[in-house]
Structure 1
Amino acid sequence: MTLDLESEMSAGEVDGLLGRHETGVLSLARGDEPYAIPISYGYDVDGRCFYLRLVSTPESEKRRFLASTPQSRLVVYEEDGDVYRSVVATGDLREVPRSELTVDHVVQYGDAKRPLFEIWGEVERDLDVGLYVLDPEELSGRRVEVGR
């Protein structure tokens, strides 16, 4: 009988996984109402925080959730043969108003990948592009080796 071996990832392993990827699933919650979407992100390894450009339309569910200061969780994962890794970041998602952008913000958003999930039927002028930072209160990773 084989057992799966599960272990915590080190901070370096977490940073490595987040640096290798640019997409994940962002879950937002207000009260007991959840909302989850695929997103692309930029990760600042020094600050250990995420930079997101989130695009929404005027009447979208995403915009309603973002306006409510929801609880946030970002999940990034990978599978490599018999090894599965996942990282979960939990914290407040904060919008950065354009009037408050600093040089550091501009550098981070410049390094962030263009949103990969931009498929819109709406006229582009109706889209709102919000700049957000997720500075996790908790950042953890798990590794599972199957059948070891």
Structure 2
Amino acid sequence: MTTKREAEMSASAIDAFLARHETGVLSLARDDAPYAIPISYGYDEDTREAFLRLVSTVDSEKREFLGSDPDARIVVYEEADGTYTSVVAIGTLERVDPATLTPERIAQYGETRRPLFEVWADDKPDLDIQLYRLAPDRLTGREIVVDRDE
């Protein structure tokens, strides 16, 4: 395989890509320790924000990382017909208090799919669902087209 074309994505192409997908990888870091998990999300093209409903247990590693106001990256990618596309959103994950939600924000979380990755050893009453928002400080995207015939 050789690269035929590689290009940075425009802001509108990044927005359209994030809006049409609903899953990615959330990476958190704290004290030089990484943590990455598959997530489902909603994306608002107008505000360029991602909305997440994250499920955890009281003693989970996820909860430890989320409680530290971590730096965050959301990575969304796809491969289709020899074209590889990826978008990275970088910023701080902000916990959202449900009491502060406006009707418009509630609609955004309605767009966020129920977590698709739900394999839990604990009973559902032991699970906690929290709302988060990522208003990225930086959004980047790349598209690479490869020639598979070589």
Q: Same fold (TM over 0.5)?
A: yes
Q: Is the 8 A contact 1:5 1:147 kept in 2?
A: no
Q: Is the 8 A contact 1:73 1:91 kept in 2?
A: yes
* Equivalent residue number for residue 72 of structure 2: 72
Is residue 22 of structure 1 aligned with residue 22 of structure 2? yes
Number of residue pairs the alignment of both structures matches: 148
Alignment of 1:68-147 (within 5 A): 68-147=68-147
* Equivalent residue number for residue 40 of structure 1: 40
Q: Is the 8 A contact 1:56 1:62 kept in 2?
A: yes
* Equivalent residue number for residue 8 of structure 1: 8
> Runs of at least 4 residues of structure 1 off by over 4 A?
none
Q: Given the two structures, how large is their TM-score scaled by the length of structure 2?
A: 0.94
* Equivalent residue number for residue 51 of structure 1: 51
Give the share of equivalent positions with the same residue, in percent: 57
Write the letter of the residue equivalent to 2:136. Answer: P
* 1:49-86: CA deviation from partner (whole Å, max 9, x where unpaired): 10000000111000000001111000000111111000
CA positional deviation for 1:2: 4.6
RMSD of Structure 2 on Structure 1 (CA):
1.5
Q: Given the two structures, how large is their TM-score scaled by the length of structure 1?
A: 0.95
Q: Is the 8 A contact 1:55 1:128 kept in 2?
A: yes
Higher mean Cα deviation, 113-122 or 73-82?
A: 113-122
Give the gaps of 5 or more residues in structure 2: none
